[in-house]
Chain A
Amino acid sequence: MTEMLPRPTARAEPAADEIPADGRRRSHTFPPESIAQIQRMAEEGHYEIRGWGAKRALPSFDDLTFLTASISRYPLEGYREKCETRTVLGSRFASKPIELDIPITIAGMSFGSLSAAAKTALGTAATAVGTSTTTGDGGMSTEERAASQLLVYQCLPSRYGFNLADLRKADAIEIVVGQGAKPGGGGMLLGQKVSDRVAGMRTLPPGVDQRSASRHPDWVGPDDLRIKIEELREATSWEKPVYVKLGATRVTNDVKLAVAAGADVVVVDGMQGGTGATQDVFLENAGIPTLPAVRQAAAALREIEMEDQVQLVVSGGIRSGSDVAKALALGADAVSLGVAPLVALGCNSRTYQRDGISHDATEDYRALGTEPGHCHKMHTGQCPVGIATQDPELEARLDAAAGARRVINYLKSVTMELTTLARACGKSDVHNLEPEDLVALTVEAAAMAGVPLAGTNWIPGEQR
């Protein structure tokens, strides 16, 4: 007979509020999220890949406020008095510049990353409100060309689906040097989204993870970019505007170089910019926020005396009319939206519509390990609302016409917010907003945007 080992006295686990304060002391260096990440890496031997954009708190347009009119300046009436939103992009060299009714465009998002229905819905909505949409790292799909009155065709390092026939069908060309979500990195599409059609358009095998190059195959640096731009212009009879899109890092130099290389339009994508899939470490640790990026880009254009000739488009985390107004005031001619119109389309919505019936998708979000309102799982291809997927079953959850209506509503609302603020600042044209209309609510934002801290005349770093 074996001797009985002494057993610890059975004791109920203490309730959470009985754990002493010191026993729950949170580590700033190793908070539970860091511990979970380390545990996951130890388990999987891999970095985290996800969609969306930077999730950490960053200085943003929220840190600015407008000095609207009062006695020294006079506001315009909200409903009676016009406030122009018309915007022209690409007037420097192109014989057919892009003419937009609103200074709000839809950013490049690939067919592959997004479903065909999502691309169609975005194109339909953009056309209805008189703006442009953009292809993405996967080529031009027939549906989006048909749905979009103004379509910007991206030329990316991967050159997926890039060909002369589609180039000539485009209304403008965007050479993508980098993206705010992952400046210095290339695109990524995991195998589960590489359907036969997606693979066909990219001339790659289906079902295999795709990692796009981070550099263009035929040029690096401004000298060779100049040749590339000229080649694209020659191929399109100098008709179409050529945009150069940059991930915001060394903005001042990059903007000047893009202009020197012959860009009609410079697109600067800030750190909050979204993506369908990339390394989390990239999203959270590379590039500068959109707020300082606009200021630097506008200053660079002024410095080389090109602000009246080359247009600046800004993107990265823009959600509302106030974000648009602030970007314009700081020197942007237009903005570009990616994540926000997807949300309008239904991204992160708890429900989806099918055959006129509303279905709850919460369980599908949970199966991906997330919740509606928090989802960044577009890389999985298992989008519960049919937007970031190539699965026919899931794709059927998005009705392109209904989605387009929601995006139209959203873009109209953003435009109304924009003109509301512009009118209150006494502007009959949204492009007349200027940095002097803004003050900052934090010292950081004042320094980054180059506007005074509210209630003072102090712009950090500026000699007085």
Chain B
Amino acid sequence: MCGIVGLHLKNPALHGQLGSLLAPMLDCMTSRGPDSAGLALYHDEGARTVMDVYKDVGLPKEICARYDIASRTGFQGIGHTRMATESAVTTEHSHPFTPTEQLALVHNGSFSNHATIRRRLVREGHVFDTDNDSEVAARYIADQMTKGADLDDAMRMVLKEFDGFFTLLVTTSSQFAVLRDSFACKPAVVAETADYVAFGSEYHALASLPGLAEATVFEPSPEVVYTWSR
């Protein structure tokens, strides 16, 4: 069991508040994942987009304070609180998984055929940092994109190849994508306004956002890839 949150800021006026908006969202997910937590935050440096990753063992509040998340700025970020299932509680095993400098993935659920897909990727030369099932999905998506797929296509391939239960939130330097398995057992809520797209495993993670009362709020449908681009 885990909690995932994400924020994609359409309005540049909000970029200065990325960390201060995201940190309380992550804190809301403490009960879903008290073992460890992590974030991937994206900001621009001139023409370049930089993704910074913070992850550690402990409670989300402590980790956000430790890495001063509230003061971070940028245009999007995702976060994850982890309750470990089949692999160890360490910083390496914490989400987000970031197989490339620009790609981050957080996952709530459990894949049931990841060992087979991992074997295939290892054979093709991919090197894994952990035995975590979510890392397999992250590296799979990165591999698909390296081979020319866009994020949309890569997510659809996940639907085809991966079995089990998942709500995934995946970000690149320009995109923010959500996907749920065909059963959609793991919870997910999206809120969209003119200023932002926000994602939470539970609604209360979104409650602190400005202008939420006017937002379009919906549960993502199963087997649909939702993407938002800058």
Residues of chain A at the chain B interface (Cβ within 8 Å): 69, 71-74, 76, 81, 302, 305, 308, 425-429, 432, 434-436
Count chain B residues whose beta carbon lies closer than 8 angstroms to a beta carbon of A.
17
Please determine whether B123 and A73 come into contact, CB atoms closer than 8 angstroms.
no
* Residues of B with C-beta under 8 A to A74: 109-110, 164-165, 185
Q: Which of chain B's residues has its CB closest to A69's CB?
A: B112
Q: 29 A–B contact pairs at CB < 8 A?
A: A69-B112, A71-B85, A72-B85, A72-B86, A73-B86, A73-B110, A73-B112, A74-B110, A74-B165, A74-B185, A76-B183, A81-B183, A302-B119, A302-B123, A425-B112, A426-B112, A426-B163, A426-B164, A426-B165, A427-B113, A428-B182, A432-B112, A432-B116, A432-B163, A434-B113, A434-B115, A434-B116, A435-B115, A436-B115
* Residues of A with C-beta under 8 A to B185: 74
Q: How many Å lie between the Cα of A429 and that of B123 in the bound state? A: 23
Q: How many Å lie between the Cα of A436 and that of B116 in the bound state? A: 9
- Report how many A-B pairs have Cβ atoms within 8 Å: 42
> Which 7 residue pairs spanning A and B have beta carbons closest together?
A426-B112, A72-B85, A432-B113, A436-B115, A432-B163, A434-B116, A72-B86
Question: For window 129-146 of chain B, which residues contact chain A by CB distance below 8 Å?
Answer: none
Q: How many Å lie between the Cα of A71 and that of B119 in the bound state? A: 24
Q: Which of chain A's residues has its CB closest to B161's CB?
A: A432
B120 within 8 A of A: yes
Known: A81-B183, A426-B164. A72 touches B110 (CB 8 A): yes
Q: Which of chain B's residues has its CB closest to A81's CB?
A: B183
Q: Which of chain A's residues has its CB closest to B109's CB?
A: A74
Most buried by A among B110, B115, B123, B164: B164
B118 to chain A, nearest CB (A): 10
Q: How many Å lie between the Cα of A426 and that of B86 in the bound state? A: 15
* Residues of A with C-beta under 8 A to B85: 71-73
A325 to chain B, nearest CB (A): 14
* Residues of B with C-beta under 8 A to A429: 163
Please determine whether B164 and A73 come into contact, CB atoms closer than 8 angstroms.
yes
* Residues of A with C-beta under 8 A to B165: 74, 426
B112 to chain A, nearest CB (A): 4
Q: How many Å lie between the Cα of A305 and that of B123 in the bound state? A: 8
- Beyond A72-B110, A426-B112, A429-B163, list 13 extra A-B contacts (CB 8 Å): A69-B112, A73-B110, A73-B164, A74-B110, A74-B164, A74-B165, A74-B185, A308-B120, A426-B110, A426-B165, A427-B113, A427-B163, A428-B182
* Residues of B with C-beta under 8 A to A73: 85-86, 110, 112, 164
* Residues of A with C-beta under 8 A to B164: 73-74, 426
Q: How many Å lie between the Cα of A74 and that of B123 in the bound state? A: 28
* Residues of B with C-beta under 8 A to A305: 123
A167 to chain B, nearest CB (A): 36
